[in-house]
């Protein structure tokens, strides 16, 4: 298959991936997503214990299963690229564990908010990075970051929870602000700690990246998406 590589030149997919610096960046991107997905699987499965009804428990289980399927797709692609998934994922373990330790929900509604707002902005960030990778990698990232079914369910349940007890709205709004701050810090830390990922965003000797204006627009898009999510929940951003 012939495609347009990140430098704007026509190349086959194999030629693009064989470039060591670029391959390292793709492996890092897929690995951090794999850690995110396996962690989301574990968290959704655990949060199902707090769900108020059997129907909610079942839906949470379905959402967890979807996250696990995403993890398998990412793991398989890492293997195709010649990477050991365990080794590739390990550098991101501490950063994501720290994020989850700082954002431990106290109840089911906060857990849903974390999946919708916290995970949402992190996935937005990785979608933005996918603009600078080859077509096959971009398609996998977009597929893994698709949260439409999860979003619809979470919005419905949180809005119902607020309608049942309006007093929780203020607490959830504050929780949403905390989540977005921690999620952005986590994403920035991941990019800063991995040179290959940073090169994807800012560019390197073999490809252009985002200039300061585009980085500003990217941050604006992340903020806008967060505001939209909060508005969907009927909460102030």
- State the pLDDT at residue 92: 92
Cβ(168)–Cβ(112) under 8 Å? no
Residue 9 has pLDDT above 60, yes or no: no
What's the CA gap between 97 and 92, in Å, rounded? 9
- State the pLDDT at residue 195: 76
Residue 14 has pLDDT above 60, yes or no: no
Q: Judging by beta carbons within 10 Å of its beta carbon (0-12, 13-18, 19+), is residue 237 exposed, middle or buried? A: middle
Fold of 2-232: Ferritin (1.20.1260)
Half-sphere exposure in the Cβ direction for 233 (13 Å, CA): 32
pLDDT digits (tens, 9 = 90+) for 158-211: 999 999 999 999 999 999 999 988 988 888 788 777 877 777 776 654 555 555
Ranges of beta strands (E only) in the chain are: 2-4, 10-12, 203-204, 207-208
What's the CA gap between 188 and 194, in Å, rounded? 10
Cβ(34)–Cβ(233) under 8 Å? no
């Amino acid at each position: 298959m012939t495609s347009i590589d990140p430098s704007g030149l026509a190349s086959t997919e194999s030629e693009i991936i064989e470039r060591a610096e670029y391959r390292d960046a793709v492996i890092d991107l897929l690995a951090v997503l794999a850690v995110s997905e396996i962690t989301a699987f574990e968290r959704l499965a655990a949060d199902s214990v707090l769900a108020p009804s059997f129907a909610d428990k079942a839906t949470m289980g379905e959402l967890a299963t979807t996250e696990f399927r995403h993890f398998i797709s990412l793991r398989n692609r890492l293997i195709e690229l010649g990477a050991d998934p365990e080794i590739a994922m390990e550098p991101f373990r501490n950063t994501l564990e720290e994020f989850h330790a700082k954002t431990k929900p106290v109840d089911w509604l906060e857990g849903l908010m974390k999946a919708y707002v916290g995970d949402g902005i992190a996935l937005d960030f990785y979608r933005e990075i996918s603009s600078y990778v080859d077509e096959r990698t971009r398609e996998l990232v977009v597929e893994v970051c698709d949260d439409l079914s999860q979003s619809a369910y979470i919005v419905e349940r949180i809005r119902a929870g607020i309608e049942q007890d309006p007093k929780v709205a203020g607490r959830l709004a504050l929780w949403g602000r905390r989540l977005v701050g921690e999620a952005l810090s986590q994403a920035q830390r991941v990019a800063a700690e991995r040179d290959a990922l940073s090169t994807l965003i800012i560019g390197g000797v073999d490809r252009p990246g985002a200039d300061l204006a585009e980085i500003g627009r990217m941050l604006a898009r992340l903020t806008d998406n967060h505001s939209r999510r909060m508005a969907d929940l009927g909460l102030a951003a």
